[in-house]
A and B are shown apart, each in its own frame.
Chain A
Amino acid sequence: MLNELRQRVSDEFQRTGKRRRVKLVDSTLRDGHQCLWATRMRTEQMLPLAQKLDKSGFDCIEAIALVQFDASVRFLNQDPFERVRLLAERIRDTPLRGAVRSNLLGGFYPVAEDINALYVERLIANGISELWFLDALHCWENIAPSVAAGKRLGAKITAPLLRFNSEPGYDVDFYISKTREALDLFSPDIVNFGDPGGNLSVDTVRTLIPAIKGVIGDRPLEVQVHCVNAIGPLVALEAAVCGADRLMCSIEPLANGNAGPSAHMLARNLREIGFEVDVVDEVLDEISDYLASVAAENGFPVGVPAEYDPSHLLTQYAGGAMTNLQAQLQDAGIAHQLPAVLDEIARVRVELGSPVMSTPFPAMVAGQAVMNVLSGERYKVVPDEIKKYVCGYFGRPPIPVNEDVKDKVIANGSKEIALTPPEIPPALPALRRRYTGLSDDQLLLRYMYGDDRVDKLVPTRVDDTFSIKNPLSVLVEGLAKLPARRRVHIASGGVEILANG
């Protein structure tokens, strides 16, 4: 395999006369902790590494998406706009990217166009210079107003985010046609192809990547894989060999397992087969050590490579969503139901027309699956999101919903939900009247999360000290604080410290 990859890269070099540079996009602060730390990394834990990250040689650094907004406000009592601002003050040389998830904000429900436009505007105002736009159903009309806002304000646009699905119907023709649609609508700067569930195979990459490249011309193609099913790093390499220009990754220990591939490993392997890669390995090492110390200090798990498991092909469950599902079942005291829930997810997903398991659909499908498992009768209890999905509130699924399931969902779902999605009127004028004098950031956060939650947000204690804490250094630090004349004798496995003895 190694020799074959080297040969293919060498052939390209011979053909084009230049060695290709593969750019890396860092997603440690966005997808990395979303997949492994349930998005619980705090702003003050990010700030000390920000300047180093800026000097790491990444082509772009992902700062935030709506999942980070939610976790920041709901669980960390932190202002996500403040995070963006503080990161942007420290990351000055590398473009900082934010994500726009369809026309949805908090709560997964479509919101008014003017609200989405304001969200884009505030991201840019706080320091975001690149934006990517996701719609997991590939309904580009859902993201069109936000893309227009981003373009108007001068952001670099990554769109569409094509999302891989191994179900029939999601074939080369589908992706080609969706790419063409998006190019016509948005004329984006970058096109992204991603695999949230980690199920992309080498063979598929060999077909899809050249096909998409053939459509997008000189625009860079960015590829995102996950390592949920062990083969992510290999698929990323294959994508580069097939023509991908940018690869998303994250820094160990926020790589592997449910997360994306390791920046270290990708860089080494890409260079090994003959590509130029700009990242500075020594700086990545320092950031890795720092993140490992954050993990140790907070009891966060580190990314462990996954065992290949074909059951993922059935559930197609995204990395970050898997971590959240496990945490939610644990919190609900039904962690033992995980295998049954995963089996049910596989069934529900297919019955609902196999939506790409990218936010918000993993959570929605899992919600229905949990209800099915707990109630004992499938679709007896129907979450509102599922009824709205079936009724087209999120757009038209590329593959139709199973008719029997659709009937059950409509029959058992909330009667409050109209079968035809209503028009969503502009919301901003009323919001401005309600919150006179508030900043747009505050106004938007209050719209998304309510006054109570926003009132509880606490400003970040800014400290840029980059310190890698290990138990010994903490011990010595503690000892240094003792009165100078105190006699100290500490003995433990292999360590003995004597002072003033």
Chain B
Amino acid sequence: MSATRFVDVSFTDGQSAAWAGALEAPMLCAAAQSLDGARFAAIEAISPEVMSQCLSRGENPLQRLEDIRRWAPTARLRAVVDLIPRHGRFDELGTGLLRAWLRLLAEKGVSEVVLVDPWGDLGRMTRAIRLSKEQGLEPIAALVYPTGASQAHDELAQLAQAFVKGGAARIMLRDEAGLLSTGDLGALIPTLRAAIGPAELDLHTHCHTGLGPQVALEAIRLGIARLDTVLPCVANGPSLPSSLHMSHSAALLGLEIQGVATQPVEEANAALLRVAAQENFPESQPWAFDLAHFMAALPGPLAARAMQAAKACGRDGFHRFAKECESVRRELGQPPMLGPYAEDVMKMALSHLAGAPRFGRIYPSMRRLLQQKGGGFSQAALHLRQRVGRSETTREAPPPPNDETGLLAMMCGIAPAGVPARQQKHYELMSPEEALTQGLLARWATYPSLTVTGPGLHIQLSHSRGAQSC
């Protein structure tokens, strides 16, 4: 059993959960440069969620990937690939599209890919593993920790074993909703390790319930190969455990880790903290243990969004929301709480909480779920299945285009024209004085005069009769 190594996912899941995905590519330049020398096993650079975030603000996701490659030239880069696309324009990535996308990722400097199939479909996973290897990428088969009706550990172990037989040399236990406890882990990890033999077992877990750091340390004790972590400024709460905290705690407990280099990690953290201060990103905080998270079972970034939205419904808003989530999930037949399904469950529960009619609107991915496309099942409530009817056809992904823009557009479910152009942007960090001056200059025209006085500081702006003085 070799020492556990850490993977950094601050630029993907970390910032998605802690800062609602607002970390633009230019903002992470300094942090990426520092992380390059921090001895992480890998840095996760891109995921479907980050791609959506980029598009929503006019940022080209491939440029972000290229930038990270340039800023962290020696780090091993990781990407996440959803085998069922979130946009729902087709039911799964076909062989051609998946091969083309994996080739592009490899060309951009990615070395390893986490392959996520919400349904754990063996055929899809085996194909994705094979295609990854063809492109020289190391595949990591995600083993989704169940959030629905209880799934026995031995069933998970059988699936993991099947993935390994399908060619995976690495399995990642993926607990997107942070529901693992040390009790679960103590039984699950040995079972999985026995099932997968010499293949490596990685862990990705979140901290919704406050148990994440304890679970992560227990996983290290049980000998996992890699642990996903984030920088302290985006750690805990809906996000993942902090790499620094895990490093220090593991050392304190005498656990075997191949630790990260503290100074570069602290520098990367400081760089992101400066960005956070300038952009008013929230301070990352742990969340208190609450059974509501087991009812909601939402992945970190969605849990953060739901928590924010439910606040408007009173102090017990999140608890009521979570109960509604549990009810929606039950009526939908306990879909895997990943990708498109989790977001739709969240939106539906929030709408119910706001007083909308129950299942008043069936979202597109929910419709395909009820029609059992992509890997669904027939346990959803009958009234819902009857509403959407049957669908005999599976929507295949079209043949992939040859150009990067077209390929990216197809992966993201948008028209090629909707792909943002590449732009060279530079992010400028300002001193507090510069930020103050910039703020004042942006506002001065609204007021006849503006004065700021502080220790060693006096700024006066006035523009009576069209003149201005500073």
Chain A interface residues toward B at CB < 8 A: 1-3, 5, 202-203, 227, 230-234, 237, 256, 261-262, 264-265, 268-269, 272-273, 281, 285, 288, 304-311, 314
B316 touches A227 (CB 8 A): no
Give the nearest-CB partner of B284 in chain A: A307
A-B contact pairs, 21 of them (CB 8 A): A1-B179, A1-B184, A1-B291, A1-B294, A3-B294, A230-B289, A231-B214, A231-B289, A233-B289, A234-B209, A237-B291, A265-B290, A268-B292, A269-B290, A272-B291, A305-B210, A306-B286, A307-B245, A307-B286, A309-B213, A311-B249
- Contact A273-B291, Cβ < 8 Å, known A231-B210, A285-B315, A306-B286: yes
Nearest-Cβ distance from residue A299 to partner chain B, whole angstroms: 18
Q: Chain B contact residues (Cβ within 8 angstroms of A): what range? A: 20 to 34
A5 to B285, CA, bound (A): 27
CB interface residues, B 181-214, toward A, < 8 Å: 181-184, 209-214
Chain A residues with CB under 8 Å of B210's CB are 230-231, 233-234, 305-308
Which of B245, B287, B291 is in CB contact (< 8 Å) with A305? B287
Chain B residues with CB under 8 Å of A288's CB are 315
A116 to B213, CA, bound (A): 45
Give the nearest-CB partner of B183 in chain A: A202
B183 touches A307 (CB 8 A): no
B285 touches A308 (CB 8 A): no
A285 to B317, CA, bound (A): 12
Which of A2, A202, A230, A264 is in CB contact (< 8 Å) with B295? A2
Give the nearest-CB partner of B285 in chain A: A304
Chain B residues with CB under 8 Å of A273's CB are 291
Chain A residues with CB under 8 Å of B235's CB are 307
A273 to B214, CA, bound (A): 23
A202 to B184, CA, bound (A): 12
A227 to B316, CA, bound (A): 20
A406 to B181, CA, bound (A): 42
B211 touches A231 (CB 8 A): yes
A234 to B249, CA, bound (A): 21
A231 to B182, CA, bound (A): 11
Chain B residues with CB under 8 Å of A1's CB are 179, 181, 183-184, 291, 294
B286 touches A305 (CB 8 A): yes
Residue B252 CB within 8 A of the other chain:
yes
Chain A residues with CB under 8 Å of B242's CB are 307
- Write the B150-176 contact mask toward A (1 if CB under 8 angstroms, else 0): 100000000000000000000000000
Which of A2, A203, A265, A310 is in CB contact (< 8 Å) with B288? A265
Chain A residues with CB under 8 Å of B285's CB are 304-305
Residue B236 CB within 8 A of the other chain:
yes
Give the nearest-CB partner of A4 in chain B: B150
A268-B292, A307-B210, A307-B235 given; 13 more Cβ-contact pairs under 8 Å: A1-B184, A230-B210, A230-B211, A231-B214, A232-B289, A234-B209, A234-B289, A268-B319, A281-B316, A306-B286, A309-B245, A311-B252, A314-B252
Main secondary structure, interface of B, reads loop
Give the nearest-CB partner of B149 in chain A: A3
Chain B residues with CB under 8 Å of A2's CB are 291, 294-295
- Contact A5-B286, Cβ < 8 Å, known A230-B211, A305-B210, A308-B210: no
Give the nearest-CB partner of A235 in chain B: B289
Residue B114 CB within 8 A of the other chain:
no
4 closest A-B pairs by CB: A2-B294, A305-B288, A308-B213, A233-B289
A237 to B290, CA, bound (A): 10
A96 to B285, CA, bound (A): 35
Nearest-Cβ distance from residue A14 to partner chain B, whole angstroms: 19
A232 to B253, CA, bound (A): 20
A262 touches B288 (CB 8 A): yes
Give the nearest-CB partner of A230 in chain B: B210
Nearest-Cβ distance from residue A111 to partner chain B, whole angstroms: 39
A5 touches B249 (CB 8 A): no
A303 to B235, CA, bound (A): 18
Nearest-Cβ distance from residue A226 to partner chain B, whole angstroms: 13
Give the nearest-CB partner of A285 in chain B: B315
Chain A residues with CB under 8 Å of B249's CB are 309-311
Give the nearest-CB partner of B318 in chain A: A268
- Residue among B150, B236, B289, B316 having the largest count of chain A Cβ atoms under 10 Å: B289
A232 to B292, CA, bound (A): 16
- Write the B98-113 contact mask toward A (1 if CB under 8 angstroms, else 0): 0000000000000000
Chain B residues with CB under 8 Å of A227's CB are 288
A227 to B210, CA, bound (A): 11
A42 to B103, CA, bound (A): 67
Nearest-Cβ distance from residue A2 to partner chain B, whole angstroms: 4
A281 to B315, CA, bound (A): 9
A268 to B315, CA, bound (A): 11
Nearest-Cβ distance from residue B240 to partner chain A, whole angstroms: 12
CB interface residues, B 120-163, toward A, < 8 Å: 150
Which of A5, A262, A307 is in CB contact (< 8 Å) with B291? A5
- Write the B275-318 contact mask toward A (1 if CB under 8 angstroms, else 0): 00000000001111111101100000000000000000011100
B288 touches A233 (CB 8 A): yes
A88 to B200, CA, bound (A): 63
A234 touches B316 (CB 8 A): no
Chain A residues with CB under 8 Å of B315's CB are 264, 281, 285, 288
Nearest-Cβ distance from residue B425 to partner chain A, whole angstroms: 28
B211 touches A234 (CB 8 A): yes
A1 to B177, CA, bound (A): 13
Nearest-Cβ distance from residue B289 to partner chain A, whole angstroms: 4
A202 to B215, CA, bound (A): 13
A2 to B319, CA, bound (A): 14
A310 touches B289 (CB 8 A): no
A273 to B294, CA, bound (A): 12
Nearest-Cβ distance from residue A349 to partner chain B, whole angstroms: 16
A231 to B87, CA, bound (A): 38
A285 to B315, CA, bound (A): 7
A310 touches B217 (CB 8 A): yes
Which of A237, A285, A306, A310 is in CB contact (< 8 Å) with B253? A310
CB interface residues, B 334-367, toward A, < 8 Å: none
A232 to B211, CA, bound (A): 11
B183 touches A233 (CB 8 A): no
